[in-house]
């Protein structure tokens, strides 16, 4: 495989130069590969689960189906009926190349090996159906925050693609050394951790903000927390 030549340093480029430098390249990395840092290519031959609305293009014979209300079980259906909670998942099935992106966020690919991880629902881009997924709502923060309300627990073995604004960073949680994070900047955490929620009135006026930093996620025990250098605010789901 040959890497396309970079665009020459010029205020303008010929059409041929632009096409050659930006043409899709198959890197041979398998099911998931990063076409760019912000664009995921899925070499589909079967099924993959994707965040609804993340498809930007595809080639081949691929059909899309929204995850049904009963796909996660009757208990999940009853929870959604009462609270309106949920994150929409789309099943992409068939053969071809599928391109996924989410608001220009950076893509990271993780291979789980009989492991579990929690991911902020807004930061899940795609995952293999071999991973069991459970969507839940952080009800304690629902009334206080407009982002970071839903999380997905993924467990098993398979590939997972997550997104973050800019470069993600991982903080280690060890006994006696807890980590506190802003919910809107929290991307993921290890599957064995259960965050607690705390308020700190001393932070209410920090850099002029009224409520975000005063409410924090507290992680204790042994594990990790993934954060991004950005506070993502998401509108409340409707219905």
Instruction: Specify if 20 maps to a domain.
Output: no
> pLDDT (tens digit, 9 = 90+) per residue, 57-111?
999 999 999 976 435 443 444 344 333 344 689 999 999 999 999 999 999 999 9
Q: Domain containing 177: what range? A: 29-227
Instruction: Specify if 233 maps to a domain.
Output: no
Has residue 198 got a pLDDT over 50?
Answer: yes
| 37-41 own/partner pairs: CB under 8 Å, 24+ apart | 37/106, 37/107, 38/101, 38/104, 38/105, 38/106, 38/107, 39/99, 39/100, 39/101, 39/107, 40/99, 40/100, 40/101, 40/107, 40/109, 40/125, 40/126, 40/161, 41/97, 41/98, 41/99
Higher pLDDT, 9 or 163: 163
pTM of the model: 0.80
Instruction: Specify if 232 maps to a domain.
Output: no
Has residue 4 got a pLDDT over 90?
Answer: no
Instruction: Specify if 11 maps to a domain.
Output: no
**Mean per-residue pLDDT for 126-145?**
78
Question: Band of the pLDDT at 139, cuts 50, 70, 90?
Answer: low
Instruction: Specify if 138 maps to a domain.
Output: yes
SS3 string of 207-235? HHCCCHHHEEEEECCCEEEEECCCCCCCC
Tell me which of 35-39, 74-78, 125-129, 169-173 is least confident: 74-78
Q: What is the pLDDT of residue 68?
A: 60
Q: What is the pLDDT of residue 42?
A: 97
> pLDDT (tens digit, 9 = 90+) per residue, 18-29?
888 878 777 666
Instruction: Specify if 174 maps to a domain.
Output: yes
Higher pLDDT, 216 or 155: 155
Instruction: Specify if 210 maps to a domain.
Output: yes
Q: What is the pLDDT of residue 18?
A: 80
Question: Band of the pLDDT at 167, cuts 50, 70, 90?
Answer: very high
Question: Band of the pLDDT at 129, cuts 50, 70, 90?
Answer: very high
Has residue 113 got a pLDDT over 60?
Answer: yes
Percent of the chain having pLDDT more than 70? 73
Instruction: Specify if 62 maps to a domain.
Output: yes
What's the number of domains the chain is made of? Answer: 1
Q: What is the pLDDT of residue 219?
A: 96
- The CATH code of the domain that includes 183 is 3.60.160.10
Percent of the chain having pLDDT more than 90? 56
């Amino acid at each position: 495989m040959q890497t396309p030549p970079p665009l020459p340093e010029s205020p303008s480029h010929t059409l041929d130069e632009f096409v050659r430098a930006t043409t899709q390249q198959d890197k041979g990395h398998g099911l998931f590969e990063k076409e760019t840092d912000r664009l995921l290519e899925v070499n589909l031959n079967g099924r993959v689960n994707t965040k609804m609305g993340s498809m930007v293009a595809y080639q081949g014979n691929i059909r899309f189906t929204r995850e049904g209300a009963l796909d996660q079980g009757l208990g999940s259906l009853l929870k959604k009926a009462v609270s309106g909670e949920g994150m929409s998942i789309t099943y992409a099935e068939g053969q071809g190349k599928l391109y996924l992106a989410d608001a220009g966020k950076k893509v990271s690919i993780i291979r789980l090996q009989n492991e579990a991880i929690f991911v902020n629902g807004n930061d899940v881009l795609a995952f293999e159906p071999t991973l069991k997924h459970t969507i839940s709502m952080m009800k304690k923060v629902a009334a206080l925050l407009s982002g970071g309300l839903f999380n997905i627990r993924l467990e098993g073995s398979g590939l997972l693609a997550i997104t973050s604004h800019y470069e993600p960073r991982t903080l280690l949680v060890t006994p006696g050394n807890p980590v506190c994070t802003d919910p809107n900047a929290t991307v993921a955490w290890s599957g064995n951790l259960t965050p607690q929620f705390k308020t700190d009135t001393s932070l209410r006026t920090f850099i002029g903000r009224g409520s975000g930093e005063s409410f924090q996620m507290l992680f204790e025990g042994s594990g990790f927390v993934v954060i991004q250098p950005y506070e993502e605010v998401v509108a409340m789901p409707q219905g």
